[in-house]
Amino acid sequence: LNYRNTGFITSAPDIRHLPQDTGVEIAFAGRSNAGKSSALNRITDQKGLARTSKTPGRTQLINMFEVTQGCNLIDLPGYGFAQVPLELKIKWQKALGEYLQKRECLKGLVVLMDIRHPMKDLDQQMIFWAIESRLPVLVLLTKADKMKSGARKAQLLKVRESSKSFGGDVQIELFSSLKGIGLDQVRRKLDTWFGP
Ligand code: GDP
């Protein structure tokens, strides 16, 4: 697919307000500041496509983008803001879990993690939910350019080794929006999930 043709479709305040459950959807998730917006912008080659609301505590929107008819990318709100009230956190986590488990058109989950701080509790929770729903997962270790080549490879192997215990379809790759590391691989993976 040509990801450069991706365009904004709609925003929803929560999962219940997403458009109807049709076509093929691939969701992007990650802790806030993991580099999710930068990754979406790089993959689609559009600087302003995804924007982050960096205001903690404010309800963030789910954004839907269309690559081509019936092929959508979902930008889920970043999780893990320390300052968000517990009640809101729990509400959001419940909603994310429900979305991963109930959305029929969802065919893959991309989880973005800063290569220097991978696999925090909520990251693992997202992966668990996906596996429970037999959803394949692509983990991108973002900002890979911030590590030297040797350390970067060692970190990749370490995360790959530890994620074997998830037991599901979980692929781990390096990514850098800044340097384009892993870009072709991500696009190819999205292609296979979107299908022919
Ligand atoms: P989000 O909150 O997950 O959407 O994260 P952003 O995409 O807004 O990125 C958070 C911060 O990390 C910003 O300051 C980005 O400039 C920086 N960042 C994102 N991707 C990269 C990357 O590949 N390399 C480097 N060095 N910095 C990055």
The residue nearest atom 12 of ligand 1, judged by CA position, is 35
Angstrom distance (rounded) from CA 5 to CA 35? 21
Q: Which amino acid, 45?
A: D
**166 vs 51: CA distance, rounded Å:** 31
Give the rounded percent of residues in the chain with a pLDDT score beyond 90: 77
CA atoms of 38 and 177, how far apart (whole Å):
6
Cβ-contact 13, 63 below 8 angstroms = no
ipTM of the complex model: 0.99
Mean predicted confidence (pLDDT) in 149-162: 98
Tokens representing 94 are: 């419940």
**What is the CATH code for 3-194?**
3.40.50.300
Please answer whether residues 122 and 31 qualify as being in contact, where contact means their C-beta atoms are separated by less than 8 angstroms: yes
The pLDDT value given to residue 55: 52
- pLDDT bin (cut points 50, 70, 90) of residue 52 is low
Q: Is 37 in the pocket of ligand 1 (CB under 6 A)?
A: yes
CA-36 nearest atom, ligand 1: 3
CA proximity to 152, closest of 144, 164, 160: 144
Assess whether the C-beta atom of 78 lies below 6 angstroms from ligand 1: yes
Strands 71-75 and 62-68: antiparallel
Regarding the beta carbon of 178 and ligand 1, being less than 6 Å apart is answered yes
63 C-beta closer than 6 A to ligand 1:
no
Angle of CA points 68, 12, 77, to nearest 5°: 90
Domains in the chain: boundaries: 3-194
- pLDDT tens, position by position, 104-127: 999 999 999 999 999 999 999 999
What is the structure's pLDDT at 88? 83
Residue 57's pLDDT band (cuts 50, 70, 90): very low
pTM: 0.95
pLDDT for residue 59: 52
Torsion on CA atoms 4, 71, 68, 181, rounded to nearest 10:
10
**Ligand 1, pocket-test mutation among 28, 31, 38, most atoms within 8 A of CB:** 38
